[in-house]
Amino acid sequence: MTPNLVYIVLVGVLFAAGVVLLLERSLTRILIGVILLGHGANVLILGGGRAGGTPIVGTVPTEDMSDPLPQAMILTAIVITLAVTAFLLALAYRSRDISGHDEVQDDVEDRRIVVLAERDAMPLTDDQDQDAA
């Protein structure tokens, strides 16, 4: 069985858009990115299933039944995505309630590490080399 080209393009677009939105600083955009990634995973799993009859014993021959595992995995992925979406929505609401916006701020420790890394990367002048010796 070969996958449909529309499924492949749709999965690629959903994953690409989800990753781009996850890299943003706004929690609402991160939320939309997680939702798109969840939908991309569902479509990816959906494209992997074999077409066939209803997987109920006695309705169709066993070799003609479709595999119910992809459907169960998609249902599980939907529940997990819903839980993560609810958590991120509560986080964005609380962040907006406290600070007035939902932007993720830089951590003070991260800024300090960047300053130290920039200082260590700067070449020493002749005066500093003599002082160090």
pTM of this prediction exceeds 0.75 = no
pLDDT digits over 71-130, tens only? 888 899 899 999 999 998 998 888 888 888 878 777 788 888 888 888 888 776 666 555
Asked if residue 17 lies in contact with residue 34, where contact means CB atoms within 8 angstroms, the answer is: no
Hey, what domains does the chain have and what are their CATH numbers?
5-123 (1.10.287.3510)
How far, in Å, CA of 130 to CA of 81, rounded? 60
pLDDT digits over 48-67, tens only? 666 777 777 888 887 788 87
Q: Which two tokens stand for residue 62?
A: 């066993």
